[in-house]
Structure 1
Amino acid sequence: MNSKVEQPRAASSGDIVKYALALLLVAAGVFAFYWFSEWPSGMRSLAVIGGLLAGAGVFLTSLKGVQTREFLSESRFELRKVVWPTRQEAGRATMMIIIAVTVISLILAAFDFFIQLGVKFLLGT
């Protein structure tokens, strides 16, 4: 858990310009894909990928981009702490889940059957 107390900051005008520029770069890549229909499909796809990469590059220099990078690095750090189950433990857990689901479905089927019998008896059909 992060122990730093941070006050949320509003986006500066420079950040808003960066967001708009990032969106324009992505839109330009998509526009190039459709506008230059005579280009080979590989080149058109590269235009979209280039627009996405350029937009992401501009976004990552903004305040939200810095926060995103910090979040991702903290997530990687936390993932290193996870103790993953062994193959044998995962297999056992899977079998227990399959057995539990089967037993519960049989119990529900029995309830349904007896309720159906009761309703038929009450309706006289």
Structure 2
Amino acid sequence: MSERQKMILVGALATLGVLAYFLIPSTQPLAQVAAVLVGVFAAAGVFLTSEKGRGSIVFVREAVAEAGKVVWPSRKEVVQTTGVIMLMVSVIAIFLWMVDFGLLWLVQLIMRQES
């Protein structure tokens, strides 16, 4: 089976699962959910046998390996950095409020002089 045919089959299986959800009466919610899950898992199974699926598995494995190499900050560093960010956001917010207030005052002054 070609890659294109596998991708079409993946889409068809997922679509059939969703279609089955709507065809099953709403009085049977477990059957509706089961239909969607069967469609999605069947689609995932076919996808994982394709070249793109195998590439995705390799990508996820490499991503997990890279995440393991990351030097994560300590709790103290995170708290300090968060504090600095909150302080800077507050300073910038106050500065922007002052600029806005000043511009409002200036516009009102100009409007009073024209009337």
Q: CA deviation at 1:60?
A: 1.3
Which letter does structure 1 place at the counterpart of 2:110? L
Which letter does structure 1 place at the counterpart of 2:81? A
Instruction: After TM superposition, list the pairs within 5 Å mapping 1:23-38 onto structure 2.
Output: 23-37=11-25
For residues 106 and 39 of structure 1, do their structure 2 counterparts lie closer, same or farther at Cα, with a shift above 3 Å needed?
closer
Secondary structure of the corresponding residue to residue 124 of structure 1 = helix
TM-score normalised by L of structure 1: 0.81
In the alignment, the residues of structure 2 paired with residue 109 and residue 33 of structure 1 have an alpha-carbon distance, to the nearest angstrom, of 53
In the alignment, the residues of structure 2 paired with residue 78 and residue 62 of structure 1 have an alpha-carbon distance, to the nearest angstrom, of 24
What 5-or-longer segments of structure 2 have no aligned partner? none
Percent of aligned pairs sharing the same letter: 34
Q: Which has the higher helix share?
A: 2
Query: Do residues 97 (structure 1) and 99 (structure 2) align?
Result: no
In the alignment, the residues of structure 2 paired with residue 35 and residue 67 of structure 1 have an alpha-carbon distance, to the nearest angstrom, of 35
Query: Do residues 86 (structure 1) and 74 (structure 2) align?
Result: yes
Partners of 2:17 and 2:35 within 8 A in 1: yes
Deviates more, 1:35-44 or 1:15-24: 35-44
For these two proteins, the number of residue pairs brought into alignment is 113
Instruction: After TM superposition, list the pairs within 5 Å mapping 1:46-125 onto structure 2.
Output: 46-124=34-112
Deviations 1:34-58 (A, max 9, x none): 2121662112201101110110110
In the alignment, the residues of structure 2 paired with residue 96 and residue 53 of structure 1 have an alpha-carbon distance, to the nearest angstrom, of 46
Q: CA deviation at 1:87?
A: 1.6
Query: Do residues 17 (structure 1) and 5 (structure 2) align?
Result: yes
TM-score normalised by L of structure 2: 0.88
Which letter does structure 1 place at the counterpart of 2:32? R
What 5-or-longer segments of structure 1 have no aligned partner? 1-12
In the alignment, the residues of structure 2 paired with residue 79 and residue 38 of structure 1 have an alpha-carbon distance, to the nearest angstrom, of 43
Q: CA RMSD in A?
A: 1.7
